[in-house]
Structure 1
Amino acid sequence: MSEIIINDLVVPERLDSAEAAEFHAMVAIGNRQAELDAGIDDLAETAEELLPSWRDQTDRSQRGFIARRDGVIVGAAYLSTANDERATSGDMGVMVTPPHWGTGVEQALLDRVERTARELGRTSVQSWTLHPAASSERMLTPTTAWGRVATTGLSELLLTNGYVLEQVERNSVLPLDGPLTLAEESLSASVAFAGDDYRIVSWTLPTPAHLREGYADVISRMATDVPSGDLEIDEEVWDAARVVRHDQNIIAGGQLLSVAAVEHVPTGKLVAFNELVIGADHSGVTHQFGTLVVEEHRGKRLGTIVKCANLLRWREIAPDSPKISTFNAEENRAMLDINEAIGFVPASYAGGWQKKLG
């Protein structure tokens, strides 16, 4: 076959410009690969949603790579790294779909990403693969020993290149076409159990000024308080200014995001939160972004409170959305128990991979 040419992705200023063709192609290839690997079409993203975070690289640097053969785009990849000088890891993805998979494109892109990560001084890279809910003849078990995933072409590529499957996450969905009685009952019981030291605080982006520091604090705890197996997750600094940038990028991408949080009344600190987001098409799938109860306030049913409060709030915000999709680590039984109690069911799985770079 002819030579594979890989160039740096051109990040366009606008999506209606001629220079946006590569960005549109990367998004389309990624969506197609997600659909093929997961066996569902719930996980698609739009170029409009993604472009703002690629344009604003204040906190994280996004690098894209486009593979061509005979002038035709045949694959794409990305590498995302925190700009904090203490960061040592990178997040990456390789995206190639039939008929180009298996022709050397995926290996060439992976090599380019790893070389770039080394040049940036990263000591490890991580990647997430999608997998169907159905089992296959060959199943992979992570180092956590929680959960299993069926093999895919992408997981085989990572295995043969020295990556280790460190964690499995379950993708669960909750249909929104019926009554939310279970959520209502769970919320009422959990609020009574938590007591008067905790109260619900909710908002739709942009975050009110008086809540930005507290929101930043609980987001920053995602790196330390969420189960991650042996994945080397870099801690990142969040403050009010970063929350403003975060909110601006979400809104600029045409997305609508609702936050339900719990405030610890004696200290005035936010100690739990849940985020639900939907794109410009409010009849599309809703996605959960972050959910967290900080470690020192667990055991009070605050996870149930933020999930159910936001779910019930969401019915008023996006009544035409057919379902909510969320990911949780298989070892995170506390969150999976909450999901199952209010009606979430498995839809697909994800594998978290890591490679130490020599």
Structure 2
Amino acid sequence: MKVSSLEIRAGGPDQSLVILTGVTSASSGGKALESSAAAAGAASETRGPGGVIPGPVPGPDLGSGPGPESVPGASLWNRNFRYFFTARTVARFGDGMVPVALAAGLLNAGHGASSVSFALGAWMVCFSGFVIVGGVLADRFTPRRMMVLADAVRLGATTLLAVVFAAGSPPLWLVFALSALNGLAAALFQPGVASMLPRMVPDVQRGNAMLNVAESLTTMAGPAAAGALVGFGGPGVVFGVNAGTFAVSGACLFMIRLAPMARTRGESFLADIAGGWREFRARSWLWGVILVWTVYGVTVLGPLVPLEAVVVTERHGSTMFGVMMTLNGAGNAVGGLLAMRLRPGRPLFSGTFALFGIIANVPEN
């Protein structure tokens, strides 16, 4: 067995810890994974001071046609990457709206501060609990198929959120259930982000960094737009726009064509998961990083994200919360630009050390 992707992410409505996201069946040494991590560890994939570390590519993907890995001198902005780039940036624009819409919608409906925490927590619990399973499914059914399926599920769930918020005060159980469903779909989606990128671009770190900059810029626009839309049309309109972004993302991902790759068959689903765990335990260089991110997620992201949403929205309104998240996206964009220029010798260490800058965001009272 070998690890197909390792994901390190944090921030936004979909904050998560270090997750081992998939396995493939061919055997390879630890150096392959470590070199892949070194190639992209300095770049962030999504909001927050984290990054994606793509590993060896998983099994055959849907579609046909050569990927850039089979074309010498392939351009970074090839057809597949353009579709992938559009899918990710558009979806991130919608994702940036979600915390603002949830906080404003639930608080205005009189549900209380804890409802926002439970809604965001339902997303994260389902994502964290199923992302390893999502990696194995991506290996068996191809990452692109799982990503398109995940976008279809999120399109349906978010459309329903738009309807119930537009209709008035939604029942909490339904909001929590739909948030959990979106987290489950994200767990099916995310392994493909790390495993598809190396098959589309000749320079993984540069492609990853460019994605991060663009996603951070759209994440800046998302909360600001959400703050304006909440005042204009309510949370239902915001969730409606978010649902539209999943439709665009799914359509773009459907248009991607990657060369089929051979995969050894025969092992069971549970055997794939067990093999991935063995590979994870065999690589001691991951343990320290995971420990740092676990502490970061439990002590910082877990309490800080819902508290920010509640406190800022209650005291200053949804527009100010959108402004705050916009500034967070600006910081992520600067970090992505630095990642395009800097290539530290120990990117994982550098990235985890940079996390402690979050202390500067902790208010005094």
After TM superposition, the score normalised by the length of structure 1 is 0.23
Which is richer in strand? 1
Which is richer in helix? 2
Instruction: Indicate the structure whose relative CO is greater, using CA pairs within 8 Å and at least 6 residues apart.
Output: 2
After TM superposition, the score normalised by the length of structure 2 is 0.22
Larger Rg: 1
